[in-house]
Every structure is written in structure tokens, then in C-alpha cells.
Amino acid sequence: KLSTHVVNITDKKAVEALPAQVAARHGTVDGIINNAGIIQPFVKLNELEYEAIERVMKVNFDGVLYMTKAFLPHLLKRPEGHIVNVSSMGGFLPVPGQTVYGASKAAVKLLTEGLYSELASTNVKVTIVFPGAIGTNIAANSGVKIEANADGGSSNFKALPPAEAAEIIVNGMEQDRYRVLVG
């Protein structure tokens, strides 16, 4: 069963209302996948505006936190539940011009690792996902323009198609894997 619910994950009150909307449609909630994420403009921290910093942190970290807090009480009541949080390889290794993005995804990493420990003796499983290059429109969806290579072409680097990434993530969730590497 699938339904879509449009919500601004940076709006705590809207997120807090979401579990009731989903439960009204489906009766119960057995799992969530927190996959929202945006990047920052490709500039050094010194050149990055506070508005961009706050937007990246609100979407990438606060959104995961709000969704997790909102759904966790419901998941704890189920015979089994699952939370999947998507971090990034950028949460492990710094990328010049993506300092705040990396910090936000490192925060998701640590939040999820702590949550895994806290929920170890419960019915709720936790998975952290570390995607590398996935063929999404994250730059465009973030409002970030990426310049073409000097030769006018694009990189020869092959990104993993999103459908393949989704399959790997769902398989990891179904297998109760703690860490999933994608791409």
C-alpha cells in the first residue's frame, strides 16, 4: 500500500500531524525512510550565506529528526518497525564547497547511530544509508547550478540509477541491515 502526503519536513507542526494522516489512510505505520536532502551552493563556507546554511541544516538534519520523532511512538507500538535514515558519503569525507552539506549528513549519521543503540532492545530496527553518486536531480532540486566541464561536456563518471539505489535500500531494510552503502 502506498499513499503520498506532501509535507514540508522543516515544519515541525506539519510533520507532527503526518503520522495521524498516514494512519488514517492505512491504519498503521510499520516503517519510514527519511530520504530528503539538498546540497549547498558550491562555495567555501566563508562565502556561504547564513540563509543557505540554515536551509541545508533544516532539510537534511531537522527533517530527519522531526520525522523520526513524529513516527517513533507509532513504530514502537507495532510488532516490528523500521527507520531508515539516508546520510551520505559526504558525511564521512569532506568535499570542498560542500562543508555544510557534509556536516548535516554527518549529523544524520551520528543521530542514526545513537538511535540504533537506543532502540537495540526494542522491536524497531534502524538502518543508516550512505549513498555515493546516485543519478538524482539533487543539484537542480537544491537550486544549485553546476557548471559543465571545461570541454563543455559532462563527467564520464557513472552514477547509479535511482531505481537501483531504491532497491538496494529496501533490500537492506528488509534484511534489517544496520549499514547500507549505495552507489
Active site residues: 101
What is the bridge-based pairing of β-strands 31-34 and 124-131?
unpaired
In the chain, count H helices and then E strands: 6, 4
In 10 A of CB 109, how many CB atoms?
A: 19
Q: How far apart are CA 106 and CA 95, in angstroms?
A: 12
State the distance between the two ends of the chain, measured CA to CA, in whole angstroms.
27
Is-contact 91 102, C-beta < 8 A? Answer: yes
Q: Estimate to the nearest angstrom the gap between the alpha carbon of 28 and the chain centroid.
A: 22
